Structure 1
Amino acid sequence: MHTVAILVLDQTVVFDMAIPVEVFGRVRLPDGRRPYRVRTCGTQEQVPTETFTIHTSSGLDALADADTIIVPGCSETAGPPPVEALEALRDAAAHGTRIASICGGAFILAATGLLDGLAATTHWTAARRFAEMFPNVDVRPDVLYVDNGQLLTSAGASAGLDLCLHMVRRDLGSAVAADAARLAVAPLEREGGQAQYIVHEHQPVPRGSLLEPTLAWIEDHLKDDLTLEAMAARCGMSTRTFSRRFREHTGTTPLQWLLRTRVRRAQYLLEHTDHSVERIATQAGFGSATAFRERFKRVAGTTPQAYRTAFRGSGGFG
């Protein structure tokens, strides 16, 4: 039987922890046998979370006997991970144990140094902070999960579900994994490289910057045929000076900033209106529906129609 140990630390996010418990705990082989044993492990017998207290079944010594270790995320109010927990993870990795993180659990895993030189992901809202804290890790903010073989990381909680199903499929094949997916009422076919559907926020421009009024003007004129020359002229600069100042203040080029701003406008319209793709293409300044589809998929990682299907609100709970 394959043992899955879930590392529970102070202020562990309950939903992150519940996902592997649910997935691995309910897997059944065709003959009805349970292939996984799930344990909760930690530095304390009782671990407080943001909502209630978790009673762990084992201490950190159980990590040494585990075949797979899952590291859920912790609340941002939690302190740094205990040194003994990081050491236990390093020891387990040295013995070949598979270790996977869910959402913010990547911060704990990265703190061990095990992810140095590897690709990894975490929730898109934390990707920039993750990259700043762990510059030796190749952060991939636009994917659902990254499988490095022994070390795996996933984005948000739902991506953690995708990752757990992916590991079941790796261990036991697609048929067993498909059955686990049906029990979880989740699709099995979402792959790790699928985008998180998120267009990341622009780096904030310093208040009082010369660029502030120009950026506001750009957002008000997205439907226009905006060129680098037109944006530079609006700011009263040469194109070379404008491009240099723009990158210094925003971390990107004017045309890249414009494209992401147009995609975010399109995302809002896809979520909140019934407008056709052709009309949204015009409203967001893409010129044609063909150009809109191509550029939207390049930035958001999916088609406009698929995005609308996934994120269109129902307008209420009734």
Structure 2
Amino acid sequence: MPALTVAVIATDGFSPFHFSVPCILFGSAMPQPDLFRVDICAEKPGVVLSDIGLSINVEHGLERLDVADIVIVPYWNHAGEKPSGALLDALIRAWQRGAEVVGLCLGTYVLAYSGLLDGHRAATHWEFEQDFIERFPSVHLDSNSLYTSDERLITSAGTAAGIDCCLNIIRDHYGSAIANRVARRMVVPPYREGGQAQFIERPVPVSTRDGKMNELMDYLRRNLEKQHDLDSLAGFVNMSRRTLTRHFFRATGTTPGDWLNAERLQRSQELLETTDSSIERVAEMAGFQSPVSFRQSFKARFSVSPSEWRRAFRGPATAADKAE
């Protein structure tokens, strides 16, 4: 079987890290050299400057996309700028003749601008989620997955998720054994559990223009471990349940129950990262009614368990984790 040709596209202002990921994984990290051949391409061959001043001398133009098995856009430095028609047309031709077309991180924007992603699933960096949705309403953005694959259109979430995405492409073509060997050479996990959700910052409103709602939120933050219901909260601010709900939503954009759950989850994250407390104790201090409800709520929001979160953001398991 001849080596699969991978065309990696260098664009002005490229990120050296994002660009190096496919070049290394399909190149020097492979256990044998005859599985992939990497060609670096650019719209205009010659010197292409990165976003930090490094430059590369590119030999091939976009004509290499007409023969490549896999075409990769590793980054795009201008989310609000539509790529040239020449680049978009080359990507469309590559996909129409059967190539896999890949967008890593903000490279997903390039695929979206081409129209190839219309009606398909896609992933990109979580910080650009809202911008992407507004620009490309016809694309089904998956806000949690580290990577997606939909009819030879492959996209990844931000930064290091490109490694996961490329490993999955290797796995699809040559199996887990080869992908695992590449992962070992890269000193990365061959497959990461969970998804992008665990890294997304979802700030909870800290204060609003409504003094009474600010007073209520301050009170709740000081008493997260206690149980609260709508009646007690309404009594605290001398309002009816309906009036409280209306004022709270107007001030925060959410309900008291959802706001309180988000605060408790945020508090639990801090406790998992900074204390050795058991999962049961963390659940209690954050105000969850039981460890079971805590685990369920945490998993539903972040797609990983509390113990997995602690391992990911703190390091080796503590005695409390081992006891669990």
> What SS does the corresponding residue of 1:11 show, helix, strand or coil?
coil
Query: In the superposition, relative to structure 1, how do residues 110 and 226 fare at CA in structure 2: closer, same or farther (>3 Å)?
Result: farther
Task: Spell out the pairing of 1:1-318 with structure 2 (5 A cutoff).
Answer: 1-26=3-28, 28=30, 32-44=32-44, 45-51=46-52, 52-75=54-77, 79-190=81-192, 194-202=195-203, 208-209=209-210, 211-234=213-236, 237-244=239-246, 246-247=248-249, 250-312=252-314
CA 1:242–1:307: 2 relative to 1, 3 Å: same
With structure 1 as the length reference, what TM-score do the two structures score?
0.87
Offset of residue 207 of structure 1: 5.2
TM-aligned CA distance change 1:9 to 1:116, over 3 Å: same
> CA 1:283–1:68 in structure 2 vs 1: closer, same or farther (change >3 Å)?
same
Conserved 8 A contact 2:148-2:155 = yes
Runs of at least 5 residues in structure 1 that lack an aligned partner in the other structure = none
1:157 Cα deviation (Å)?
2.2
Per-residue deviation, 1:16: 1.0
Following TM superposition, by how much is the alpha carbon of 1:64 offset from its aligned partner in structure 2, in angstroms? 1.6
- Asked if the contact 2:6–2:69 (Cα under 8 Å) also holds between the matched residues in 1, the reply is yes
Identical pairs, percent: 36
Structure showing greater Rg = 2
SS at match of 2:7: strand
With over 3 angstroms needed to count, the CA separation of the structure-2 counterparts of 1:143 and 1:260, relative to structure 1, is farther
Does the residue aligned with 1:157 lie in a helix, a strand or coil?
coil
- C-alpha distance after superposition, 1:179-212 (max 9, x if no partner): 1111111222336x64541354147689524644
The size of the alignment, in residue pairs, is 311
How far 1:151 moved relative to its partner?
0.4
Give 1:122 shift: 1.3
Structure 2: distance between partners of 1:42 and 1:7: 6
Query: Could you say what secondary structure the match of 1:257 adopts?
Result: helix
Conserved? CA contact 2:157–2:196, under 8 Å? no
Assess, with a 3 A threshold, how the Cα gap between structure 1 residues 138 and 214 changes in structure 2: closer, same or farther.
farther
2:321 corresponding residue in structure 1: none
